[in-house]
Amino acid sequence: MPLDPCPCRATEPRPLAYESCCGRYHTGPLHLQAPTAEALMRSRYSAFVRGDLPYLLATWHPDTRPATLDPDPPGLRWLGLEVRRHADQDADHATVEFVARSKLQGRAHRLHETSRFVRLDGRWFYLDGDTD
């Protein structure tokens, strides 16, 4: 039986299985952290797809993290992720521009965001983002 492809659609040089891509951050030991801001952003997208709210909260910077997250509305389907650009401002700050597509009740939706990430004690966190 083939392994499930990762929702983030990372390729190296072929599509990666969820377990060897974002799944290792979602279910791996606490010390296994996403090594780059882009890897964290991809793992967060995959967490949205899989409804892993605890992971989303754990990877959100404490200064901007909400107290709780609501699950996606019933019927929401995540359709894909496109990473458009990523840039390191310095060793501990980075941005990732992406487009995430979804569909709800027959209507297509598109989230275009430039997210900011910060690294604290060697661990990347989502800080906030600007949407168009």
108-117 pLDDT tens trace: 999 999 999 9
DSSP assignment letter at 90? E
pLDDT given at position 40 = 96
Check: CATH 3.10.450.50 for 18-131? yes
DSSP assignment letter at 19? G
CA–CA separation, 24 and 43 (whole Å):
9
Question: What are the residues facing 100 on neighbouring strands?
Answer: 81, 111
Q: Which comes out higher in pLDDT, residue 98 or 28?
A: 98
What are the extents of the domains in the chain?
18-131
CA–CA separation, 129 and 6 (whole Å):
23
pLDDT given at position 12 = 65
pLDDT given at position 1 = 43
Q: Which comes out higher in pLDDT, residue 15 or 124?
A: 124
Q: Mean per-residue pLDDT for 4-25? A: 85
